[in-house]
A and B are shown apart, each in its own frame.
Chain A
Amino acid sequence: MHMKLKTMVVALGFAGAAGAAFAGPVSEQMLAQDPSDSWLHTNGNWAGHRYSVLSQLNNRNAKDLKVAWTTSVGAKTDSQATPLYHDGLIYFPQDNKVFAIDADNGKIAWKYEHKLPDDWGGYNVPFFTGKHRGVAILGENVYFLSNDNKLHALNYKTGKPKFVADYQNDGIVYPKDFAKAGDANGYISTVGPMAVPGAIILPMNGTDTGGLEGFVLGVSPEDGKLLWKANMIPRPDEPGGDTWPAGSQKYGGAGPWIVGSYDPDLKMYFTGTANAYEWNPKNRGGGEMDNVGAASIVAVSTDSGKVNWRYVGVPGDPWDFDIPQTPMVITIDGRKTIVQPNKTGYIHHLDAKTGKYLKADRFIDKINWIKGYDQNGRPIDMIALPKEGGDPVEIAPALLGGVNMYPNAYNPNTGNVYLAATESSMKYGFEDIKLISNVRHFGAYQEFNFGDEVDKAVNVKSGKEVWRDTQVGKPGYAGGMLTTAGNLVVYTTQGGRFTVADARSGEKLYELNTGIAAKSGPITFMHKGKQLIVQPLGGTPGFGRDEANGVEFGHAIIAFTR
């Protein structure tokens, strides 16, 4: 009897621990796990996999999915955020607001609204305003980075702010109306923060709206105070510092555009960076200097902010081929490897510790800007640049890339990466560079030739394509990929078709035409004993005009379950 009671107490203890594991304040221990009951990182886990260990929904029963509820946050521009879920609430940023949505029924539990400064504005700025790609959660705080680069720590149950931190004194100023301000140029934050042990990571990404340099900030989770500031573009005395003409670094771009990844052993944050600025490279070496740090993958020590290494994927970047995609951390043959599918049309593999180039696997059909990468990770036979004011050149892919900001996923069971890819080309030419206020303009233009959206699985080790789902005649990218231990891959096409497919074969198991373009990755979690999949939708299809998809501007968040 005594033994039985003891066993029961122990069993209850375990049950209690398991039940408590994903309720209440979020611990660093919770953040370190692959997503199961909760979804605590924009990219699912620190390694950037968007892989859930849940299997209640799987390839045998996905055909029985049904809509649990739908809701809307009344979005006024593209919905690009991957939500988080924890302890009953879904967190979703949109239009400089944060919404907490009840996972029971889709009702808004609380809303936090931030007002942008009165003099907010400028060239390109309406395009970015209201877009956010995620929030972070740690302790009792949901961390939100508003477009004007302020960090808001909101109580996860009530939405009440614990603090709002501003980094203008740290050199991070916001953009102003360029018709009225002589110093209109400023940073716009659209990327989300990430919580790691001891710091909230803030990528300052909006650097090519007038010419700025990219930084990743590490700030205190307690009060938002700056701990360190890592420069994506090397200083003259750093490796790669001599790949920029003097003075060009300060407008050189390299914004860390997408939420990166983190390795707890190496204590490094890995981020891709955006294009070099201006697009016309004449002020930064004319395409002959590497411009290390832009169109690069950069590793930052999260203890100190010291940059451990930089790898430039598009040396001298004359094409706006930034490579900002999430660098996934995947162990391949015992080596921690950075795996990054990016705009170039290749999946780059680097040693995570050293940044050493390992290989680049081509993943789209149409590439002509180079013939491949050599053993040192440098492009082979890059196409000749157009002359300023002369005829444009035709290159593939277009500057929107083989993949763009729409997140990819990795499933350790199948060994596949799942890509929101597209085929495209463009005519691309250079013009002189206009300067208005202190805003430098691109000095380049493009004429897009859109091809088909192609959602696909590629074996990460062999680099070989496993399956593809081509949206014939419909350009654009899927909103983002999710994969699970239930052998599922989930994505919604640019034309709004929510799709659940077998992760190994690509066989479609469930589809729903939502009628709204997707620009955001889906998530999955357990709520009251049931596995839910939540897909945010919204925005205008494509980057430009895209009647081919036959959907108009709209917004919705849809939850699916059995």
Chain B
Amino acid sequence: MQRNSKMWFRKWMCAVTLGLLGGTTFAEDAIPDVNPYSGDEKAMREGKSWYRGVCAACHGGRADGAGERGNGADLRKFELGFKGFVHVVLEGRQQPGRTMAMPAWKGVLKNEDIYKIGAYLETMAIEGANWKEGNKH
């Protein structure tokens, strides 16, 4: 227990130090293991607004990937876990051999807003989706 606490403290110090050195690393390391806004009605409403405002163009209003700007991932089946979700949104994702890609939202969306989008998307999850497990990316 004491050992675990020490490890946690080391990790925390490391995150703080990196955070002081560079904001983006801090942003990644500071991501909680689970979504702090899961089930929070107000946050989900804000997440819905962000989702519809900036995500739905590619991922569709139903989050099924049927967007007017085409071929986003089907987020109803998102399986990388909460931290994986935040990582993909921050860093973007390329498709090998293809021009269409998920743009990186680091420096554009605040982490808090990304969490709120995640909380909204959880409400649309279908079988096979994983929003709970930690960092699987």
Contact = CB atoms under 8 A, between A and B. Distances in A.
Interface residues of B, number: 33
Contacts of A543: 66-71
B1 interface: no
B6 to A, nearest CB: 37
A260 interface: no
Nearest to A74: B97
A76 B56 contact: no
Contacts of B103: 121-123, 125-126, 178-179
Contacts of B98: 76-77, 553
B120 to A, nearest CB: 12
Given A76-B97, A178-B108, A446-B60, A431 B52 contact: yes
A398 to B, nearest CB: 9
B106 A448 contact: no
B62 interface: yes
Most buried by A among B64, B71, B97: B71
B107 A429 contact: no
A442 interface: yes
A109 interface: no
A545 B64 contact: yes
B19 interface: no
Contacts, number: 103
Contact of B99 (A77, A124, A450, A546): A77
A49 interface: no
A399 B99 contact: no
A441 B106 CA distance: 17
B58 interface: yes
B49 A126 contact: no
Contact of B53 (A77, A129, A432, A446): A432
Chain B binding surface SS class: loop
B68 A320 contact: yes
A544 B107 CA distance: 27
Contact of B108 (A95, A432, A436, A444): A436
A544 B60 contact: yes
B70 A446 contact: no
Contact of A126 (B52, B65, B101): B101
A211 to B, nearest CB: 14
A434 interface: yes
B104 A179 contact: yes
B129 interface: no
Contacts of A429: 52, 61
A297 B71 CA distance: 30
B26 interface: no
A434 B67 contact: no
Contacts of A445: 52-53, 56-57, 61
Interface in A445-474: 445-448, 450
B108 A447 contact: no
